[in-house]
Amino acid sequence: MVTNQPKKIYRYQRFNTTAIESLSYDRLHFADPAAFNDPLDCQPRVESDSDKNTLRQLLTELVRRRVGAEASVSLKNAKLNSEKVAAHAKKLGEHAARSKLANIAYNATNPEYEATDEKAECWLLTTEIERELQRQYDRGVCCFSASMSNPLLWSHYGDQHRGLCIGYGLDRRPKPRLHKVIYGGRRTVLTSLVAQALIEEDPMAQKLLDRNILLRKASPWSYEREWRLLGIRGVQESVLSLKDVTFGLRCSSAVMHAVITALDSREDTVQFYEMYEVRGSFKLKRRLVDIDELRVDLPHTAQSCDEMFDPIDEN
């Protein structure tokens, strides 16, 4: 377990209906890593340190799991008997795995390969293991930063300083499990580790596999100081404690008013800040929003000139 987790983490985002819904319902979105802006993120390269039989066994398990899970969903949607669904899905998975192995063994005999049939088969097995691992590693990822005043983060994720930065605490029961992103190194995964995690079901190997696949990024991204929550893909109930909302330098008063109004019932527990520039430097700091002053001007009611200058009724 990570011992020195930050006391607070921050999530930058643009203002839209999704942001308002997430704040109002206290939810978090766990994204599919395939949708990340970094195409190398969560996209491991598999290297083999196993013999052919182990590679065949590993690919069989991966194909059987994927096809079996896909078949189960389709058959359950057809409202079939659960026992029959499980048995039929298992058969489909085993058949798909046997077909995959047979095709690889046949293709390995292609005379265009300069390597021996066995080496060619090992290479094809490793390549297919990599594809299967990327296809079915179905963990969702929710990304945060340890910083709320980084100008680059505001530009890249906070709608060019027009958006929000949501601050979360970890004071929940049970305490959320945050994972620190590792920058640099190699994004390779050894087949022996995959086999330990998936075939032997070793929990330590599974944690290491998670780290190498879901928590490693290129070193230029280190400015993000990123921490991640791992979970089921899609929108989930928040496991964090909402502490504050910070508005960007270019965030409009109307957006500020809308967010503060949406969280009106939590005004005693959630604080609202606005960013400001430190004069003569490139640093950003934040200060509390004067909510009373904001509410004096908003919401605004439009008036025509005639309405604005109506004669005063002295009666």
Of the CA atoms within 13 Å of residue 278, those in its CB half-sphere come to 9
Q: Could you tell me which residue, 224 or 300, shows the higher pLDDT?
A: 224
| Alpha-carbon distances, residue 132 vs 42, 89, 138, 158, 232 (angstroms) | 14, 18, 11, 34, 19
Residue 210 has pLDDT above 80, yes or no: yes
**pLDDT value of position 52:** 94
Q: pLDDT digits over 113-126, tens only?
A: 888 888 999 999 99
> What is the b/e burial string over 217-244, where b = at least 16 CB atoms within 10 angstroms of the residue's CB?
beeeeeebbbbbbeeeeeeeebbbbbbb
**pLDDT value of position 254:** 94
Residue 77 has pLDDT above 50, yes or no: yes
How much is the average pLDDT of 20-49? 91
Q: pLDDT digits over 249-287, tens only?
A: 999 999 999 999 999 999 889 999 999 999 999 999 999
How far apart, in whole angstroms, are the C-alpha atoms of residue 148 and residue 167? 8
Percent of the chain scored above 70 by pLDDT? 92
How far apart, in whole angstroms, are the C-alpha atoms of residue 202 and residue 181? 22
Q: Could you tell me which residue, 32 or 239, shows the higher pLDDT?
A: 239
How much is the average pLDDT of 296-305? 77
- Cβ atoms 8, 118 nearer than 8 A: no
Report residue 223's pLDDT band, with 50, 70 and 90 as the boundaries.
Answer: very high
**pLDDT value of position 1:** 43
Mean pLDDT of the chain: 89
Q: Could you tell me which residue, 305 or 202, shows the higher pLDDT?
A: 202
Which range among 85-94, 135-144, 227-236 has the greatest average pLDDT? 227-236
Residue 136 has pLDDT above 80, yes or no: no
Strands 216-217 and 182-183: parallel
**What are the residue ranges spanned by the domains of the chain?**
1-31+143-183+228-315, 45-136
Residue 89 has pLDDT above 50, yes or no: yes
The one-letter amino acid at 272: F
Q: Could you tell me which residue, 168 or 2, shows the higher pLDDT?
A: 168
**pLDDT value of position 35:** 84
Residue 303 has pLDDT above 90, yes or no: no
**pLDDT value of position 162:** 97
How far apart, in whole angstroms, are the C-alpha atoms of residue 141 and residue 234? 9
Residue 94 has pLDDT above 90, yes or no: no
Q: Could you tell me which residue, 180 or 76, shows the higher pLDDT?
A: 180
- Cβ atoms 249, 12 nearer than 8 A: no
Residue 134 has pLDDT above 70, yes or no: yes
**pLDDT value of position 80:** 59
Query: CA 226, 227, 233, 238 torsion: positive or negative?
Result: negative
Residue 142 has pLDDT above 60, yes or no: yes
Report residue 155's pLDDT band, with 50, 70 and 90 as the boundaries.
Answer: very high
